[in-house]
Amino acid sequence: MHSAISNFPSALLLRHVVLGALAAALLAGCASTPPSPHTLDVDPQIRLPAVPGTAQDRRGRFREVLCTVLEARKDALPDHRDCDLALTRLEPEPAGTGAPVELGTVQRKLSLLFVPGVGWDCFADWLAMEDTIPRHLGQFGFDMHTVPIDGLGSSASNAMRIRDSVLAMPRDDSRRKLVLMGYSKGAVDVQVALARHPEIHHRVAAVVSLAGVIGGSPLAEEMDEDELDVLKHFPGARCAPVDGGVINDIRPGTRRAWLDSHPPVPGIAYYSLITVPAPSEVSRLLRSTYKTLALTDANNDSQVILADQYLPGSALLGFLNADHWAVAVPIARTHGIVGTLLVDRNAYPREALYEALMRLIAEDMHKTKTALAR
């Protein structure tokens, strides 16, 4: 896609970016200096997610996979950084397995369905996103598609869109399984889709929460639905109010009540990737909400607190040293002025991250299949 406003004066462009960002604190949306290492020791002030058993703490193996992919692709992919700068190490982190990491074409075919978050379709044209991640994954036997959610729609509304996207995927390869990855509020929409539409369960092999608003965000407590109206006026916006309920869907009370009454659907593998940046890795435009959340918990990504990103019953894969936007919204790559002045910590090795994720899931599925065959 090409930006519809590429010729706008930069001052006007920046004004629209600021308005959009401030009006929607939970948007699903080139560092000037290298990132700083981020190492934290666990202490009583760090509220970690309650991972059910050491078998579900997969950080050691995911670090092995991501480090291997980063090293192998450092000359081919943008925004490279060393592994210790890409992952936040919260001790005690389990050791890796020592098993080799496959870097070629996978035999276990997987399709990644990416579910974005609040307001995505409002600014998708402006982002002028390139298909760098789908192209990269396609080299190794994976494919990737984005679910066309309603950016201003409730989770119930988007659950139907997810359901339709899953059922529309071709069945020509019986070996190919689907991975649903929900980013930000998209992770909530995925949960609701699984709860409301059991007809998709047999198509879904795995669910990933990426910076998911699983437990809600305190920021939503201070917002009203009508505050999102400004997004309709974002340059090139294609979004419109659908059914309301966006903000209520991500309020902590709403999420806690929902989680208490909806256990994970059995037969599906669940994974969590949590964003918890070093303070120096939060973009300038997001520092205000980062500081607001820090009054509750300093370990946040500017939109969601660390512990509230964990999907109950999932395998914890890692803590990413990136703010809420950096793992999914490539603003700095296509808008250099904005990246330099406002979204100045947006550079993150997203292609390598997504490849490592898909490789680990494929590895897990192969192990499960082998174990069942014995």
Write out pLDDT tens, residues 276-320.
Answer: 999 999 999 999 999 999 998 989 999 999 999 999 999 999 999
CB-based contact 309:209 (threshold 8 Å): yes
**Which pLDDT score, from 0 to 100, does residue 147 have?**
95
Q: How far apart are CA 252 and CA 39, in angstroms?
A: 28
pLDDT of residue 152: 87
**Cis peptide bond prior to 49, omega within 30° of 0:** no
pLDDT at 366 over 60: yes
Which DSSP symbol is given to 184? T
**pLDDT average, residue stretch 336-357:** 89
Residue 123 CA to residue 261 CA, distance in Å, equals: 34
Q: Count the Cβ atoms, other than its own, within 10 Å of residue 83.
A: 18
Q: What is the pTM of this model?
A: 0.87
Q: Would the pLDDT of 11 be above 60?
A: no
pLDDT per position as a tens digit, 320-344: 999 999 999 888 777 778 767 888 8
- Tokens 């009006």 locate to 23
Give the residue-averaged pLDDT of 207-228: 90
Token output for 43: 């202490």
* Secondary structure string (H, E, C) spanning 101-113: CCCCCCCCCEEEE
Alpha helices (runs of H) in the chain, residue ranges in sequence order: 10-23, 59-72, 83-86, 120-127, 132-138, 155-168, 185-196, 246-249, 252-261, 287-294, 331-334, 336-341, 350-373
Which amino acid is residue 287, in one-letter code?
R
| Averaged pLDDT of the chain | 83
Radius of gyration of the chain (CA): 19
Residue of 166, 167, 176 whose CA lies nearest to 114: 166
Tell me the average pLDDT across 127-134. Answer: 80
The region of weakest confidence among 162-176, 193-207, 227-241 is 227-241
Low-confidence winner among 102-111, 242-251, 336-345 (lowest mean pLDDT): 336-345
Read off the tokens for 292.
């607001």
Measured CA to CA, the distance from residue 316 to residue 266 in angstroms comes to: 17
Rounded to whole angstroms, the Cα distance separating 359 from 315 reads 15
Write down the pLDDT at residue 38: 44
pLDDT of residue 80: 95
The larger pLDDT score, comparing residue 248 to residue 371, is at: 248
CA–CA dist 298, 193 (Å, integer): 32
Amino acid identity of residue 244, one-letter, is G
Query: Which of 241, 157, 138 lies closest to 197, judged by CA?
Result: 157
**Could you tell me which residue, 234 or 321, shows the higher pLDDT?**
321
How confident is the model over 140-159, as a mean pLDDT? 93
CA distance 58 to 189: 24
The single residue listed with the structure tokens 């409301």 is 196
Name the band, by pLDDT with cuts 50, 70 and 90, for residue 7. Answer: very low
Residue 328: how many CA atoms within 13 Å on its side-chain side? 28
Neighbours of 40 (CB within 10 A): 15
Q: What pLDDT score does 332 carry?
A: 78
Mean pLDDT of 339-355: 90
| Distance between CA atoms of residues 154 and 251, nearest Å | 12
Distance CA 352, CA 65 (A): 10
Half-sphere exposure (CA, 13 Å, Cβ side) for 100?
3
The answer to whether 151 and 125 have CB atoms below 8 angstroms apart is no
Residue 139 has which token pair?
């080299």
pLDDT per residue over 50-105, tens digit each? 666 666 999 999 999 999 999 999 999 999 999 999 999 998 899 999 999 999 99
- Is residue 17 pLDDT above 60, yes or no? no
> How do 142-146 and 204-210 pair as beta strands?
unpaired
Taking only the tens place, the pLDDT of each residue in 21-64 is: 433 333 333 333 334 444 443 333 456 676 666 669 999 999 99
Spatial separation of the C-alpha atoms in residues 141 and 361, rounded to whole Å = 13
Share above pLDDT 70 across residues of the chain, in percent, rounded to a whole number: 79
Q: What percent of the chain has pLDDT over 90?
A: 61
**Mean of pLDDT values over 203-218:** 97
The pLDDT value given to residue 136: 96
The torsion angles phi and psi of 41, rounded to 5 degrees, stand at -95, 140
